[in-house]
């Protein structure tokens, strides 16, 4: 996500007195004030951590929930290994690649891949979004059904290009990128999140460098999710693409994934 971000003020707050101390810890960790005028609030309450736009006509809070809601519905009824993202990263009988989602966001795509049996690492650059993701993973660990899935997910916080260039340990077989471009996804959920996050993260002006770093690190393939009619990212050309209704997956193979 871009470093050219308009300045917005975010404060941390507890939604009930019992969360005051924990909210203060998040504030200290993220360098947020606990009071005063702000554009956004990072709030801690019964449902965990959430980010709220404090402006008029705000879309409502966003939080990460792997146990209930849209993510749970997709896990149960989303089509399993028949989903386009599964095909794009190379999930097939006997093959569950180790995937790095270098633009994790709220972790939905990484969670889908983990629920299909892939070990997944995630990188999120925006500290507030990473905090929501960390909180969602932490709450999901205790769930009987979802706990084993999120234990396959590892979160790294920082600049994805730098982290990929300095990668240590086993290299991911597949790197998945979903840069923050002006998405045309019409779903209410995505529109709400885009409205909330765009002031915080901007667009990905460094997508070509992100792709280059991913191609250098991935052992087997890189997959880039794009709005369906958007141009490819500048740089290396994908070998083929999988087209969906609103988005497509550009595939950059390096070598075949085998069982």
The model's confidence at residue 222, banded by pLDDT at 50, 70 and 90, is very high
Tokens of 204: 């990905």
Do the Cβ atoms of 131 and 63 come closer than 8 Å? no
* Model pLDDT for residues 5-18, shown as the tens digit of each residue: 458 899 999 999 99
Query: What structural domains and CATH numbers belong to the chain?
Result: 10-53 (no CATH), 70-253 (3.40.50.150)
Q: Binning pLDDT at 50, 70 and 90, where does residue 190 land?
A: low
122 DSSP β-pair partners: 101, 155
Quote the pLDDT of residue 189: 54
Residue 139 marked in a binding site: no
Q: Tell me phi and psi for residue 89, to 5 degrees.
A: -85, -5
d(CA 200, CA 249): 26
Q: What is the DSSP letter of 56?
A: T
Q: What is the mean pLDDT of the chain?
A: 90
Whether 53 has a binding-site annotation, put simply, is no
Please name which of 212, 147, 145, 138 lies closest in space to residue 175, comparing C-alpha atoms: 212
To the question of whether residue 96 is assigned a binding role by annotation, the answer is no
For residues 213 and 165, is the Cβ–Cβ distance under 8 A? yes
**Single pTM value for the model:** 0.91
As given in the structure block, the two tokens for residue 212 are 């280059």
* 134 annotated as a binding-site residue: no
- Tell me if 124 is assigned to a ligand binding site: yes
Q: What SS3 state is found at 42?
A: strand
Q: Considering only residues 1 and 28, tell me which one the structure prediction assigns the higher pLDDT.
A: 28
What whole-number distance in Å separates Cα of residue 107 and Cα of residue 145? 17
Each residue's pLDDT tens digit, 139-168: 999 999 999 999 999 999 999 999 999 999
Closest to 98 measured CA to CA, from 213, 232, 257: 257
């Amino acid at each position: 996500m871009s470093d050219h971000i308009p300045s917005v003020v975010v404060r941390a707050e507890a939604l009930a007195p019992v969360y005051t101390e924990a909210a203060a810890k998040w504030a200290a960790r993220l360098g947020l004030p606990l009071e005063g005028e702000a554009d956004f609030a990072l709030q801690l309450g019964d449902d965990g951590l959430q980010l709220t736009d404090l402006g008029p006509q705000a879309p409502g809070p966003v939080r990460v929930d792997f146990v209930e809601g849209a993510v749970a519905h997709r896990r149960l009824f989303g089509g399993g290994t028949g989903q386009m993202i599964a095909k794009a990263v190379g999930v097939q009988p006997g093959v569950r690649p180790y995937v790095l989602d270098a633009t994790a966001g709220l972790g939905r795509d990484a969670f889908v891949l983990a629920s299909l049996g892939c070990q997944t690492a995630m990188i999120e650059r925006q500290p507030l979004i990473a905090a929501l993701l960390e909180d969602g993973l932490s709450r999901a660990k205790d769930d009987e059904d979802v706990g084993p899935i999120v234990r396959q997910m590892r979160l790294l916080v920082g600049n994805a290009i730098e982290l990929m260039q300095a990668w240590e340990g086993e290299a991911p077989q597949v790197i998945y990128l979903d840069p923050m471009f002006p998405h045309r996804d019409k779903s209410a959920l995505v529109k709400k999140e885009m409205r909330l996050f765009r002031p915080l993260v901007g667009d990905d002006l460094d997508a070509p460098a992100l792709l280059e770093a991913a191609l250098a690190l991935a052992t087997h393939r890189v997959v880039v999710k794009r709005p369906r009619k958007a141009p490819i990212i500048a740089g290396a050309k994908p070998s083929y693409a999988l087209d969906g209704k609103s988005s497509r997956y550009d595939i950059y193979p390096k070598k075949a994934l085998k069982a």
